[in-house]
């Protein structure tokens, strides 16, 4: 093998390696979900002031939470898989918040199926877990526009499954001061720390 | 010359196939299921590039000067194969137009054409390594997709993923059987070639 060939091969290796490195955020993100997480940490994209309707029929806006850290998860009430686990997890976090008296974090479950999930159905979803309204809001997008806005702003992928429901991400979206600052798994143990940490 | 022109139709067909990957209506046909995307469109795009290399003498003459050993092509081709095996890129290509364009433009050239060229230039040992590695990729990828409890592509349901995994493993099984038959009855038999001098 000539030195010219060896050099060219090394360059080619650098080229494809560099492209792989660039796409996978330094060989760390191999699926869209992890890639989305790494992009958010880097870019902290702004989110608009979503108009939502809660389980009492009241219209709420993202800006209502001010400087509190909002943990947003996406659910739909007909969901038979992860949405139940998300509800249990939120109730657990809520208990931890009540125990410490922390007001730093607020929880928000947003339905991705607003046509079906009326405020009554959202209230029924809450009753499955028994959480109080004070720190945990369950809501649906107030209009179609908000639904598509929040999907595009969070990079969420929602695809219909074969049972009339949806396959969607079960991650928690951290929103603070109108920016999406982090996306973490709902099982992330760091969430407990977030409830009490200052700063 | 009509006869000459008539012979161009496979070339036109490969170009049309690439363009079909860009037109939203036809692109969605291929991207609708993971199996069609990964096991039909991707290999056919790569095949288009391979066809151009084996068809064009001008391209071959250029490659003969640029990469006579086929080594550079092998590095580029295998790297690009890994790139497009990532669930991330498969996902992005279905809804990000820039990634879809990247797929249609580069898979034929940087994956199909390169691997075809290196296959032509490599000796039997190199070819054997390529075949073994290709087979191993089928098994690895198929196994991951089949047993993963997690939905790896945000755009494809887990059932779709498992079916794709089974198909990949099926392909691996068939190719292993073919390779075994080739090994036993093909040109690698001791009596055929490896005669003592």
Contacts of A16 in chain B (CB under 8 A): 75-76, 79-80, 82-83
Question: What's the Cα-to-Cα distance from B36 to each of B15, B21, B111, B156, rounded to whole Å?
Answer: 19, 12, 18, 11
pLDDT more than 70, % of chain A: 98
Pick A16's closest partner by Cβ from B75, B87, B158: B75
Q: Where are the beta strands (DSSP E) in chain A?
A: 51-54, 59-61, 69-75, 105-111, 136-141, 159-160, 166-167, 172-176, 179-184
pLDDT surpasses 50 at A112: yes
**What is the predicted pLDDT for the residue at A154?**
96
Residue A124 · residue A153 · CB < 8 Å:
no
Provide mean pLDDT across the span A177-189.
92
Looking at per-residue pLDDT, the higher value among A19 and B2 belongs to A19
ipTM rounded to 2 decimals: 0.88
**CB distance from B153 to chain A under 8 Å?**
yes
pLDDT surpasses 50 at B23: yes
Q: Tally Cβ neighbours within 10 Å of residue B136.
A: 11
Q: Please give the structure tokens belonging to residue B135.
A: 């087979």
Provide mean pLDDT across the span A61-83.
92
**What is the predicted pLDDT for the residue at A199?**
41
pLDDT more than 90, % of chain B: 85
Instruction: Determine, for residues A162 and B159 on separate chains, whether the beta-carbon distance falls below 8 Å.
Output: yes
Question: What's the Cα-to-Cα distance from A186 to each of A34, A170, A191, rounded to whole Å?
Answer: 13, 7, 8
Provide mean pLDDT across the span B83-87.
96
Pick A30's closest partner by Cβ from B86, B151, B155: B86
Q: How confident is the model at residue A198 (pLDDT cuts 50, 70, 90)?
A: very low
Q: Which letter, b or e, does each residue of A57-72 get, where b requires 16 or more Cβ atoms within 10 Å of its Cβ?
A: eeebebeebeeebbbb
Instruction: Determine, for residues B88 and A30 on separate chains, whether the beta-carbon distance falls below 8 Å.
Output: yes
**What is the predicted pLDDT for the residue at B3?**
56
Contacts of B72 in chain A (CB under 8 A): 5, 8-9, 12
* Reported pTM: 0.89
Q: Give the domain ranges of chain B.
A: 2-184
Contacts of A17 in chain B (CB under 8 A): 79
**What is the predicted pLDDT for the residue at A93?**
92
Q: How confident is the model at residue B191 (pLDDT cuts 50, 70, 90)?
A: low
Rounded CA separation A69/A178 (Å): 10
Rounded CA separation A60/A185 (Å): 25
Q: Residue B33 gets which letter from DSSP?
A: S
In degrees, to the nearest 5, what angle opens at C-alpha A165 toward C-alphas A163 and A166?
125
Q: How confident is the model at residue B1 (pLDDT cuts 50, 70, 90)?
A: very low
How many beta-carbon pairs below 8 A join chains A and B?
75
Provide mean pLDDT across the span A121-142.
94
Mean confidence (pLDDT) of chain B: 92
Taking an 8 Å Cβ-Cβ cutoff, which residues of chain A contact chain B? 1, 5, 8-9, 12-13, 15-17, 19-20, 23-24, 29-35, 157, 159, 161-162, 167, 169
CA dihedral B121, B127, B129, B132 (to 10 degrees): 140
With residues binned 3-state (H G I as helix, E B as strand, rest as coil), the percentages for chain A, rounded to 5, are 45, 20, 35
**What is the predicted pLDDT for the residue at B6?**
67
Candidates A15, A32, A74, partner chain B, best to mutate (most B CBs within 10 A)? A32
Q: How many angstroms separate the CA of residue B174 from the nearest CA in chain A?
A: 29
Establish whether A83 is an annotated binding residue.
yes
Contacts of B154 in chain A (CB under 8 A): 31-33, 157, 159, 169
Provide mean pLDDT across the span B1-24.
83
Q: How confident is the model at residue A191 (pLDDT cuts 50, 70, 90)?
A: confident
Among the listed ranges A27-31, A164-168, B126-130, B182-186, which one has the minimum average pLDDT value? Answer: B182-186
How far separated are the first and last CA of chain B, in Å rounded? 52
Instruction: Determine, for residues A17 and B69 on separate chains, whether the beta-carbon distance falls below 8 Å.
Output: no
Pick B83's closest partner by Cβ from A9, A19, A32: A19
Q: Where are the beta strands (DSSP E) in chain B?
A: none
Residue A76 · residue A147 · CB < 8 Å:
no
pLDDT surpasses 60 at A37: yes
Pick B76's closest partner by Cβ from A12, A34, A161: A12
């Amino acid at each position: 093998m000539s030195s010219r060939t060896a050099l060219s091969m090394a360059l080619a290796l650098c080229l494809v390696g560099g492209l792989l490195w660039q796409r996978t955020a330094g060989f760390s993100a191999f699926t869209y979900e992890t890639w989305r997480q790494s992009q958010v940490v880097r870019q902290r994209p702004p989110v608009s002031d979503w108009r939502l309707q809660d389980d009492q029929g009241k219209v709420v806006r993202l800006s209502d939470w001010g400087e509190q850290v909002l943990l947003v998860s996406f659910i739909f009430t007909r969901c038979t898989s992860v949405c139940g686990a998300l509800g249990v997890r939120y109730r657990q976090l809520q208990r931890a918040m009540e125990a410490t008296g922390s007001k730093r974090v607020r929880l928000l479950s947003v339905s991705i199926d607003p046509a079906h999930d009326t405020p009554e159905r959202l209230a029924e979803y809450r009753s499955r877990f028994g959480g109080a309204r004070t720190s945990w809001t369950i809501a649906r997008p107030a209009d179609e526009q908000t639904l598509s806005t929040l999907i595009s702003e969070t990079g969420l992928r929602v695809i219909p499954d074969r049972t009339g429901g949806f396959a969607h991400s079960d991650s928690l979206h951290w929103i603070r001061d109108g920016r999406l600052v982090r996306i973490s798994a709902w099982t992330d143990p760091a969430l407990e720390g977030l409830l009490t940490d200052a700063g | 010359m009509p006869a000459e022109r008539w012979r161009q139709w496979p070339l036109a067909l490969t170009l049309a196939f690439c363009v079909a990957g860009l037109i939203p209506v036809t692109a969605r046909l291929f991207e609708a299921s993971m199996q069609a995307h990964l096991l039909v469109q991707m290999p056919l795009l790569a095949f288009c590039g391979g066809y151009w290399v084996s068809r064009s003498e001008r391209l071959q003459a250029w490659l003969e000067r640029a990469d006579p050993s086929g080594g550079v092509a092998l590095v580029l081709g295998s790297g690009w194969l890994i790139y497009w095996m990532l669930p991330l890129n498969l996902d992005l290509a279905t809804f990000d137009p820039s990634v879809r364009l990247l797929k249609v433009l580069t898979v034929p050239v940087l994956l199909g054409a390169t691997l075809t060229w290196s296959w032509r230039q490599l000796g039997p040992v190199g070819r054997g390594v390529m075949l073994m590695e290709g087979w191993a990729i089928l098994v690895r990828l198929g196994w991951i997709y089949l047993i993963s409890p997690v939905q790896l592509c945000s755009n494809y349901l887990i059932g779709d993923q498992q079916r794709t995994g089974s198909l990949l493993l099926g392909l691996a099984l068939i190719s292993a059987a073919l390779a075994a038959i080739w090994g036993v009855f093909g040109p690698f038999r001791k009596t055929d070639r490896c005669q003592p001098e």
